[in-house]
């Protein structure tokens, strides 16, 4: 059996708990936002950042693509992501960071797809004036995606350096 699956320690449990806390916090904030809809926005940082419910029928940052096609696409991405995470767990070594980051993306995507299934839209509640309205799940997805890309770039750079080092010693 894979060492990654068997290795249960405080660090792994803490990471899993943090992901769960962000997921639960997002679900709770969405509940609060939806249930206080007629109320005015709560200003968090002056007029720049506020807690304000907005129903988002489209993609992230309100890009005009929505409906059943978007729900089907996101569902397909979630299923693919689940299988890829299991693949990494079972077949790859030294992929712990990517597994955690992909799990963060997965839980953010699950939270948003739950909204689409339950309400027909994603509940956004953090309004950044002059930019967009988003939610904690969007932050999880964006952070996870950027971190995975960064992690992949760093590991590719390391592999390239190792190949160049081996070639340099062989000549």
Catalytic residue among 26, 115, 127, 138: 138
26 labelled catalytic: no
In a domain, 135, yes or no: yes
Q: Show the tokens assigned to 54.
A: 């907005």
Q: Output the average pLDDT for the chain.
A: 83
Q: Which residue is it, tokens 């940082």?
A: 45
Q: What is the count of structural domains for the chain?
A: 1
Give the structural domain span for 96.
3-164
Dist CA 134 CA 126 (whole Å): 5
115 assigned to active site = no
| pLDDT at residue number 16 | 87
Q: Which residue has the higher pLDDT, 84 or 138?
A: 138
Indicate whether 115 belongs to any domain.
Answer: yes
Residue 148 lies in a domain: yes
Active-site position among 124, 125, 133, 135: 124
The pLDDT > 70 percentage for the chain reads: 85
Residue 101 covered by a domain:
yes
Region of poorest pLDDT, from 22-26, 35-39, 56-60: 56-60
Within-domain flag for 169: no
Residue 170 belongs to a domain: no
Tell whether 171 is covered by a domain.
no
pLDDT digits (tens, 9 = 90+) for 77-106: 888 888 888 887 777 666 788 888 989 999
What gap in Å lies between CA 149 and CA 147, rounded to an integer? 5
């Amino acid at each position: 059996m894979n060492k990654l699956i068997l290795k249960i320690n405080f660090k792994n449990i803490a990471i899993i708990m943090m992901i769960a806390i962000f997921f639960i916090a997002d679900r709770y904030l969405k509940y609060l936002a939806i249930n206080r809809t007629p109320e005015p926005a709560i200003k968090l940082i002056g007029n720049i950042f506020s807690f304000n419910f907005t129903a988002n029928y489209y993609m992230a940052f309100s890009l005009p693509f929505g409906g059943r096609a978007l729900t089907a696409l996101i569902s397909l991405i979630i299923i693919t992501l689940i299988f890829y995470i299991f693949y990494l767990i079972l077949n790859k070594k030294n992929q712990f960071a990517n597994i955690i980051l992909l799990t963060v993306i997965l839980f953010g995507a699950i939270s948003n797809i739950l909204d689409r299934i339950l309400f027909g839209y994603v509940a956004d509640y953090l309004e950044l004036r002059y930019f967009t309205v988003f939610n904690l799940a969007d932050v999880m997805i964006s952070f996870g995606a950027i971190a995975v890309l960064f992690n992949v770039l760093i590991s590719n750079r390391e592999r390239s350096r190792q190949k160049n080092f081996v070639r340099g010693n062989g000549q």
